[in-house]
Structure 1
Amino acid sequence: MSDYNNYGSKKRTIQQLPVPSRKGHNAILNSNYLEDIVDAIGQWSCQRIFIVHSKALGENTDVIENLKEKLGLFVVGTKSGVGAHSPYEDVLEIARLLHEKKADCLISIGSSSYSDASKIARLMHTNLDPDNLTVEAMEALVDQDKGSAAGLKDPTTRLILIPTSLSASEWNNNSSATNPQTMKKQHFASEHAAPDLILLDPEVASTSPRKLWLSSGIRAVDHCVETMVNEKCTEEVFHHMEDALAVLLKGLRAYKEGESDSNQSDLLDGIANCQIGARNAMMGLILWSIPMGLSHAIGHQLGSACGVMHGVTSCIMLAPVLRYNASKSEKQKEVQKRVLGIWNKEFESDEPSLADAVVNFVKSLELPSTLKDVGVTNQADIEKVAERTMTDAFGAMEDMGTKEDVLAILESAKGI
């Protein structure tokens, strides 16, 4: 079992990943964001701090105001709000402001759209001239066949991420943003593009809207499941993901129960479990290079082309992808049965298939589970999503089938 399972409310500092490129890149579990930010910028001797933060956090909580008050004159600027799926315009605006304000540290507080926008903004700050921070220049960095930019120079500005969702992009040196001209999501990375520090603060995360938190939790479940059913998944990786999945399911259940009972302690314990489970769910991709599958590839483009929330794309696409793959392969049926066993054990349930288990869990969380639920019914939009999936960074990573396969999956997800 994981070192972090049932870790409770203890504070702990860990290296983000057990790989040489993450030496000096830490994460603090059960963080107090105010204390830990002050400690970090003191150690780094940073004096010009720029803050990117969730608009809702700024308007509905004292999280941002308390941070600005704590840092005082060290804060040289702020940006409130980033569009869903990290639009290029927001990325480029942050990069411009880093130049204008001569910032030596960027702090991002928000969901994965904020984390990705901030990570990529640092890359654009380093890789594009200040007078060339344009959509066209940014897109020119991308290999259009692979949907990703390679060979980028490492960022030079410090970055602290305080995530408020479970999409877990904070753990990855690879990030995605959406081109406003094509509405296609593209990926950007360099070897050392990961944040310098990740702060997992359950109190801050508890301010996240219910739908955002729970849907991003399904996204984290998607990370586990798509790794486990991948034909490249070894027994070592499977056992690691088995633990991550159990921790995530336990955390999501505790969150829901704490919410129902108005029990703040249970809620925070559920959040803490979810946060470490979401981190461990990324290890198959980041440490063992096992790519995500079609749920992610389709989800990227469904989100950017049709405006569907990041986590909600997994709520809608994971089950249809699982069902479709099981219909095509006996081996896939068997591995899905193994994953289903973990699921049924955790919930003491008797679901007949992994796809059914996912659908019923999503519905129990009162989240959308079909394209109809999110208003995506236009056939032209569905065709567009299928076409773009074929050159998504994950879709292009290995043989994901044909456009007709993707269309068949999307048809089954309609819910009509």
Structure 2
Amino acid sequence: MTLVEEEHFLALDPKPWVSLGVPFAEACAHHASLTFRAKRVYLIISSSISKTPALRSLKAALGDNIVGIRYRIRQHVPWPDVLEVAVELRDLDADLIVTLGAGSLTDAAKVASFAVVKGAFSLDALDKIHIRNADPSKLKPCTIPIINIPTSLSGGEYNPPGGATDLRNSRKTSFNHGSMGAQLVILDPELTVSTPERVWLSSGMRAVDHCIEGLCSVAFRDGDTAGSGKVDRHLLKGLRLLLRSLLTTKHNPGDLEARKREMGVIEAMRGLTRGVPMGASHGIGHQLGPLGVGHGETSCVMLPSVLRWNLKNQGEGEKWVRERLLKVLDAFWEDATKLGGLSREALSAGDVVAAFFGELELPGSLTEDKLEALAKNSMTDRCIPTNPVAITEEAQILEILEMALTAG
């Protein structure tokens, strides 16, 4: 049952559904009660949101159905944070999780709900259920539904996998089961106006990274084997919506119509759900985060150098890589001309992406910190084997990192 004036549509098959057009607190209370029949709601709230009227609105709307509130999940979702949430979900017998905030909360809800159904309430137990160690045949589906109310653009609300960091080795690991993730995502552009500019823009660049690494994915190595026409349409549409939204909201943060272009995130995820793996920007970025770089900013730091490295190192059998990079360059060009002083003929995809970051005043270079450990951890990441130009040794990762040290 939908509300008057509510847009309610399926983002991906089989989930999540999206609610748009109604204030977030009203939509959440409506669906918590009538869609999920929830009586024991557990909230996960970002630290910044907890200090705003948004939390008061949500608490007033849900009332006595709230049984617990978790304030703040640290960036990159440390395992101890996940375990604390999982224990509370179990002890409070929660029947619905609602997150209000950015991407770390989304991942925490996914992984904690998965830990509950697996009975994983210790570090050692959690270590047995991530994708490198889990036996897929023994994985049970999650049972606690999730509503995400995002305030950023990273897009993790729309797919099952969740990432969390083992602080014992500073390694970010992935947890995945088709049942993980939100059943409902509530979008409210007005809510996102209070998101700090750097978080909004950098998380948007994470979504842009999804589009770009998707467009350059090894899924297209052999031509149209991944239904590339449909995938390209989704990824290119998402990319263009995001570029326009980011440029506009950078200079006019209160433009709600521009913020509605967060629909570009959904288009990106529609492209990626068709078997399109990511590459080294995601692979290195996953491991860079635990070293203190914000989730979205990992894309700002790594993506231009990865694109430049891929172009420089494509082999004789990898000429398709250049063709895909030119597709990215063409997609950017309409907006890149606004950046001043650029020549289309002199640019590579890495150059234009770096220039776009500069226009948004986002960080574009890496600091020299634990590069060898970063390279070692990156080699264990699931996205490194699917980089469009083959990466087989740590020295290649170090070469990319050296490029990022002097980028900007």
User: Structure 1-normalised TM-score?
Assistant: 0.88
Aligned residue identity for 1:76: V
* Residue of structure 1 in register with 2:301 after alignment: 316
* Residue of structure 1 in register with 2:331 after alignment: 342
- CA distance, structure 2, for counterparts of residue 53 and residue 289 of structure 1: 32
* Residue of structure 2 in register with 1:142 after alignment: 130
Alignment of 1:257-406 (within 5 A): 257-259=251-253, 264=254, 266=255, 268-273=256-261, 275-286=262-273, 288-304=274-290, 306-329=291-314, 330-349=319-338, 350-351=343-344, 352-372=347-367, 377-378=368-369, 381-396=370-385, 399-406=390-397
Query: RMSD of the TM alignment (CA)?
Result: 1.8
- CA distance, structure 1, for counterparts of residue 116 and residue 281 of structure 2: 32
**C-alpha deviation, 1:93, in angstroms:** 0.9
Q: Is the 8 A contact 2:90 2:116 kept in 1?
A: yes
**C-alpha deviation, 1:332, in angstroms:** 2.0
- CA distance, structure 1, for counterparts of residue 86 and residue 131 of structure 2: 21
Q: Deviations over 1:236-286 (max 9, x none)?
A: 312321111111111111211213xxxx2x2x222210x211121122322
- CA distance, structure 2, for counterparts of residue 195 and residue 216 of structure 1: 19
Unaligned runs of 5+ in 1: 1-9
**C-alpha deviation, 1:31, in angstroms:** 4.1
- CA distance, structure 1, for counterparts of residue 325 and residue 6 of structure 2: 36
Q: Is the 8 A contact 2:82 2:111 kept in 1?
A: yes
Alignment of 1:183-222 (within 5 A): 183-222=170-209
Q: Is the 8 A contact 2:26 2:61 kept in 1?
A: no
**C-alpha deviation, 1:149, in angstroms:** 7.2
* Residue of structure 2 in register with 1:3 after alignment: none
- CA distance, structure 1, for counterparts of residue 47 and residue 135 of structure 2: 29
- CA distance, structure 1, for counterparts of residue 186 and residue 207 of structure 2: 18
Q: Is the 8 A contact 2:245 2:259 kept in 1?
A: yes
Aligned residue identity for 1:272: K
- CA distance, structure 2, for counterparts of residue 337 and residue 253 of structure 1: 22
1:245 aligns with 2:239: yes
- CA distance, structure 2, for counterparts of residue 214 and residue 148 of structure 1: 35
Number of equivalent positions: 382
Most deviating of 85-94 and 344-353? 344-353
- CA distance, structure 1, for counterparts of residue 107 and residue 349 of structure 2: 30
Unaligned runs of 5+ in 2: 221-227
* Residue of structure 1 in register with 2:42 after alignment: 50
Secondary structure of the residue aligned to 1:154 is coil
Most deviating of 150-159 and 164-173? 150-159
Secondary structure of the residue aligned to 2:107 is helix
Q: Is the 8 A contact 1:253 1:270 kept in 2?
A: no
1:81 aligns with 2:72: yes
- CA distance, structure 2, for counterparts of residue 191 and residue 66 of structure 1: 32
Secondary structure of the residue aligned to 2:48 is helix
**C-alpha deviation, 1:142, in angstroms:** 3.0
Q: Is the 8 A contact 1:149 1:187 kept in 2?
A: no
Aligned residue identity for 2:283: A
Aligned residue identity for 2:50: G
Q: Deviations over 1:319-338 (max 9, x none)?
A: 00000101122432232122
Indicate which of 148, 156, 175 corresponds to 2:143.
Answer: 156
Aligned residue identity for 1:307: G
* Residue of structure 2 in register with 1:4 after alignment: none
- CA distance, structure 2, for counterparts of residue 117 and residue 45 of structure 1: 23
Alignment of 1:24-43 (within 5 A): 25-43=16-34
